[in-house]
Amino acid sequence: MKKLLITGACGQIGSELAMALRQRYGNDNVVATGHRTKPSQELLDSGPFEFIDCTAVDTLEKVVKEYDVGTIYHLAAMLSAVAEARPQLAWDVNINGLYNVLEVARKHKCAVFTPSSIGAFGPSTPHDNTPQETIQRPNTIYGVTKVSGELLCDYYHSKFGVDTRGVRFPGLISNVTLPGGGTTDYAVEIYYEAIRHGRYTCFLRKGTYLDMMYMPDALKAMIDIMEADPSNWTYRNAFNVSAMSFEPEDIAREVRKHIPDFVMDYNVDPVRQAIADSWPNKMEDSAAREQWGWKPDYDLASMTSDMLEKLSAKLNIRT
Ligand code: SER
C-alpha cells in the first residue's frame, strides 16, 4: 500500500496520531517525521522516522519519494500564543510549510489532511453556535495563517484536484505530549497540576468559554475524514467539529469530584486572554455530522475521569 506520512509527529497531536495510524494500517506503512524535537523511543521503535523541515521543500519531497507516500497528515505548525510572540516565523512555518506540502502533494498525487482551528475565527464572528460559513476576520497571526491555509487547501483541490481534507479543531486535551504554546493549554495543565500539587493558577479569566475536545475524539475525526467518501461533500477543508464547551470553573468543579481539595486561582495573561476572547464559545458542526458521520464520544465528565486515571498512572501519583 501507499504509505502515510505525518509531519509534526513529535507534537501533541502527531505523537498520538502516529501510534493510532500504525496500529490501524501497520507500523511500516506510517512514516513519522519531525524537525527539532527529539522523538520518543516508542515512535522510533515502532516504525520509520525521518527528520524533515517543511519550510525546506526538498527535505519533504525526498522522503515522500523514498517511501512512496500517498497521504500526508500535515501537523507541523506553531500554536497561537507562541505564534503571537514570533509572527514572522509563524507565517513561515504555518504558511510556507503548508504551501510546500501542497506542492509536493500536487506533484506526487498525495491526499492531504490539514488541521484548521477555532483560531480561524475572530472578534466579529458569532461566538455561540458559530456556523460553518460565517465571518472570518481573526486578529492573530495564528488565525491569519489558519484562514489562509483553509483557502489554500480549497484552491489546491479546485485548481489541481489535490485531495485536500481538514477540520477546524477546538482546543485539544491530551495526556501523552504537552501542547506547544497554545491559548487552550490551561485545560491540559490543570490536570497535571491537580495531580502533582492539588492546585492550579489559571491564565484565562473565570467565565472564558471555549470549544474543547479530548484527543481520542480528535484522532477519530482525522482517521474518519480521510477514510470517508467525499463525493457528496459540500466542503473539503475546515469542517467545524465540536465536542464540549466549558469555562475554567466548570473544569475545576469536575476535577474536584475526583480530587476534593483541588484549589484553583487566577493570574490572567492579557495576551492569551485577548486571543481566547476573540474565539468562539462553541461551534455548530452539523455539516461534519451529516457529511462524514462526525460524532464525539467524550464529554467533560468522561474526559476528566480518563485524564486523571491516565495521568496518575503516567506520573505515578495516586489521587
Ligand atoms: N489549541 C490551539 C491554540 O490554543 C487552538 O487551535 O493555539
| Domains contained in the chain, CATH given | 3-170+214-240 (3.40.50.720), 179-212+244-280+298-315 (3.90.25.10)
Percentage of residues in the chain with pLDDT exceeding 90? 98
* Intra-chain end-to-end CA distance of the chain, in Å: 45
User: What pLDDT is stored for residue 257 in this prediction?
Assistant: 98
What is the model's pLDDT at position 279? 98
Residue 318 has what pLDDT? 83
Average pLDDT of every residue of the chain: 97
The catalytic residue positions are 142
Give the mean pLDDT of 265-285: 98
Assess whether the C-beta atom of 171 lies below 6 angstroms from ligand 1. yes
Burial 176-203 (b: 16+ CB within 10 A, else e): ebebbbbbbbbbbebbbbbbeeeebebb
- Which residue, by CA, sits nearest to atom 2 of ligand 1? 182
Q: 182 CB under 6 A from ligand 1? A: yes
**Does 48 contact ligand 1 (Cβ within 6 A)?**
no
Which residue, by CA, sits nearest to atom 1 of ligand 1? 171
Q: In the sheet that 111-117 helps form, which strands lie side by side, from edge to edge?
A: 49-51, 30-34, 3-7, 69-74, 111-117, 164-169, 239-240
CA 280 to ligand 1 centroid distance, Å: 12
CA distance 10 to 59: 17
In the reported structure, the alpha carbon of residue 171 is separated from the centroid of ligand 1 by a whole-number distance in angstroms of 5
Place of cell 519533504: 60
Q: Distance between CA atoms of 89 and 74, rounded to whole angstroms?
A: 17
pLDDT at 216: 98
Q: Rounded distance, CA 69 to CA 10, Å?
A: 19
Q: Can you tell me the mean pLDDT for 16-45?
A: 96
- Mutate which of 84, 183, 271 for ligand 1? The one with the most ligand atoms within 8 Å of its CB, which is 183
Q: CB of 79 within 8 A of CB of 182?
A: yes
Among 12, 7, 2, which residue's Cα sits nearest to residue 177?
12
Q: Which helix (H) or strand (E) holds 83?
A: helix 80-85
Q: Output the pTM of the full model.
A: 0.98
Q: Residue 36: which pLDDT band, with cuts at 50, 70 and 90?
A: confident
Would the CB of 119 count as within 6 Å of ligand 1?
Answer: yes
Query: Would you say residue 308 has pLDDT above 90?
Result: yes
Instruction: Report which ligand 1 atom has the smallest distance to the Cα of 83.
Output: 7
**Residue 136: per-residue pLDDT:** 98
Q: So what's the pLDDT on residue 147?
A: 98
219 contacts: CB under 8 Å, gap ≥ 6: 16, 17, 20
pLDDT at 155 over 80: yes
For residue 138 and ligand 1, the question of a CB distance below 6 A is answered with: no
pLDDT value for 287: 98
Q: What is the pLDDT of residue 178?
A: 96
Cα(21) to ligand 1 centroid in Å equals: 23
CB of residue 184 inside a 6 A radius of ligand 1? yes
pLDDT band at 290 (very low <50, low <70, confident <90, very high): very high
CA of 231 from ligand 1 middle (Å) equals 30
For a substitution probing ligand 1, which of 93, 172, 184, 273 has the most ligand atoms within 8 Å of its CB?
184
- Beta carbons of 267 and 201 less than 8 angstroms apart: yes
pLDDT of residue 319: 76
What are 176-191's pLDDT values in tens digits? 999 989 999 999 999 9
pLDDT digits (tens, 9 = 90+) for 64-93: 999 999 999 999 999 999 999 999 999 999
In this predicted structure, what is the pLDDT of residue 9?
98
Average pLDDT of the residues in 2-6: 98
